[in-house]
Copies of this chain bind each other. A is one copy, B any other.
């Protein structure tokens, strides 16, 4: 950072908290010390995001929007406010979201609005009335659009920066199709997008579940969600995508004239990757006891250059560092030359805590030998390399670094799922930070009672059924003993 964060207090950056033993403290402290978010804003659940997190989230948006646009989705932007009458048009939807809605009913010096306006908790009810106007014929379909915005939900659960806020950053993609088959294909494409972006680009592995009927998106037919694993063994829901069938089309009158000249309802999907929450997950998954470890693709600075000099060698070393900086920047790398008035040791700690992937150290010796020292934040190891070809070397290291981060994260998914035949066994599985796989009566509405029993006895939540593995129920429900119709996964969760 170039200003406002001078090296006043060297102690401040020696970060060392055990992420495994004390994840909540680790998370709160890294948000404070690395200057990611400031919880002192004074309104519950609303948190200013600071440059170091915003710059990474911008890069995350760029990657995700690039993929969406490549797949034919175009950006749009709807108002933040939704008239109350819109919100009420789909009954399950309104029941699901009304408890979380912030309402605007006045402006200025107490003047009343004709109709209350909701701060969007999600934008189906803002967008679909317009879709009803825009869509006339089969030629208008498919309609694939998204918007990048913040949404607002008065969460009852306790909030924390990025992971659960009352205002959060996301993309919502809203798509309309002629047939249910095409809508289902879109859901599949969304899940592939999640894998391409969240796992391949950000290095965060997930497991995909079809949610149960009592846990699906209000108003939809089926919800498919990607859960990741947090350091404390709880799972966190990352992007979810929803097959809305023609439910919303019926509520919002989204019809089209098909090729046989008949007027029929359209089918819809929506997909909501929450960038700020994914950011919270990725710093949690990749960070270590020394602080952040940001993926090379997402680090605001991919390389930091630290000059090491005493007295009269300063000019030589600084000049050489500027040459290095120029070469790396020219190659398209995001570089910062740290010439602040502080010791090299302090800077090492600072940038390790900030999670910068590669550090370049330059002293008098490196200048003489036309070399630099490269330090990798993943392996915490140094290597001496030639100045010639440095940019290419850093790019290679960056790719390898991202692979290391991803492999480490994926290794935690090995042997993660453990079968449990009784509630006692299931509790033991969850206590070890694992995910339990159990026989279960049904994921239809009737299953809710057994799910609540599991929650009460073990603290675990039924996350749903796998869709990428064929699993047929064979035994008896772990709770009620009736013939199981599903194999479900149970985990403690955020």
Q: Which residues of A are in contact with B by a Cβ distance under 8 Å?
A: 1-6, 8, 38, 40-43, 46-51, 54-55, 58, 72, 74-81, 83, 86, 98-109, 117, 119, 126-127, 129-130, 133-137, 139-145, 150, 152, 154, 167, 169
Contacts and interface: CB of A to CB of B under 8 A. Distances in A.
A104 B102 contact: yes
Contacts of A130: 38, 40-41, 48
A77 B49 contact: yes
A75 B57 CA distance: 11
Which 10 A-B residue pairs are closest in the complex by CB-CB distance? A6-B139, A46-B79, A51-B74, A4-B143, A107-B154, A49-B77, A99-B108, A54-B75, A102-B107, A48-B78
A75 B51 contact: yes
A103 B105 CA distance: 7
Contact of A79 (B47, B80, B103, B127): B47
Contacts of A79: 41, 43, 46-48, 167
B83 A42 contact: yes
A105 B106 contact: yes
Copies in the complex: 2
Given A77-B48, A77-B54, A4 B40 contact: no
Nearest to A108: B99
Contacts of A80: 80, 119, 150, 152, 167
A71 to B, nearest CB: 11
B3 A143 contact: yes
A4 B178 CA distance: 12
Contact of A3 (B76, B100, B144): B144
Given A54-B74, A55-B75, A103-B105, 9 more contacts: A1-B74, A3-B143, A41-B78, A49-B76, A51-B75, A77-B169, A80-B119, A81-B102, A103-B104
Given A103-B106, A107-B102, A135-B4, A55 B74 contact: yes
A43 B106 contact: no
Nearest to A54: B75
B2 A74 contact: yes
B105 A109 contact: no
**Chain A interface mostly:** mixed
Contacts of A46: 79, 81
B140 A4 contact: yes
Contacts of A1: 74
A145 B8 contact: no
A170 to B, nearest CB: 13
A32 to B, nearest CB: 12
Given A99-B109, A139-B6, A43 B81 contact: yes
Nearest to A8: B139
A32 B180 CA distance: 31
Nearest to A97: B108
A132 to B, nearest CB: 10
Nearest to A55: B75
A86 B48 CA distance: 15
A129 B48 CA distance: 12
A8, A46, A144, A152: residue with the most chain B Cβ atoms closer than 10 Å: A46
A157 to B, nearest CB: 14
B51 A145 contact: yes
A159 to B, nearest CB: 12
A75 B2 CA distance: 12
A126 B46 CA distance: 11
B104 A76 contact: no
A86 to B, nearest CB: 8
A442 B133 CA distance: 53
B75 A104 contact: no
A49 B26 CA distance: 41
B50 A76 contact: yes
A103 to B, nearest CB: 5
A31 to B, nearest CB: 14
A254 to B, nearest CB: 12
A401 to B, nearest CB: 24
Contact of A108 (B77, B150, B154): B154
Contacts of A105: 103, 105-106
A302 to B, nearest CB: 15
A109 to B, nearest CB: 7
8 contacts: A4-B134, A4-B143, A6-B140, A40-B130, A43-B79, A79-B167, A103-B106, A119-B119
